[in-house]
Amino acid sequence: MGDHPGKDLRRDRRPFAVLAHHVVSFAGSPWAVAVTLAAVLLWAGLGVPLRFSRAWELVMTVGIPVLTLLLLIGVQHTQNHDNLAMQLKLDELIRAHERTEDEMIRVEDATPEDLERLEKQFQAHAGDSR
């Protein structure tokens, strides 16, 4: 076998990629629940002596959507990266197997109509093999 295109892969060390990975990993952990609960309790607890002023309310009503949007961006970045990596792994398996059709490589770029047609063909094939 010749040189494989994946031989020279490097870890993505760009600051945004590293930060997004850490944020998404943390957001999916039990620690995120604990930190969120502690923050809400702290906000509510400190709100009593401050008499829940308008500015105090804005901390929650503006801060939470902004944090949610930032988390969504991080999750989407990580999901896009992981999806492409998974597609490339599947493409490698298709390419390496003798009985597969090379046309299936990058099938995710097909039109919705073509994907539906392929799905029906595979379902019919699965029904025939039973």
pLDDT, tens digit, for every residue of 74-130? 899 999 989 888 988 888 888 888 887 778 887 888 888 988 998 898 888 888 765
Question: What band does 35 get if pLDDT is binned at 50, 70 and 90?
Answer: very high
Residues 122, 87 share a domain: no
Residues 84, 116 share a domain: no
Residues 122, 108 share a domain: yes
Residues 110, 79 share a domain: no
Question: What band does 30 get if pLDDT is binned at 50, 70 and 90?
Answer: very high
Residues 48, 23 share a domain: yes
- Provide long-range contacts, Cβ within 8 A and 24+ apart, for 92-97: 92/6
Residues 107, 45 share a domain: no
Residues 93, 63 share a domain: yes
The model's pTM is 0.66
Please give the residue range of the domain that contains residue 108. Answer: 103-130
For residue 38, the model assigns a pLDDT of 95
| Helix ranges (DSSP H) in the chain | 15-27, 30-47, 54-96, 112-128
For residues 100 and 94, is the Cβ–Cβ distance under 8 A?
Answer: yes
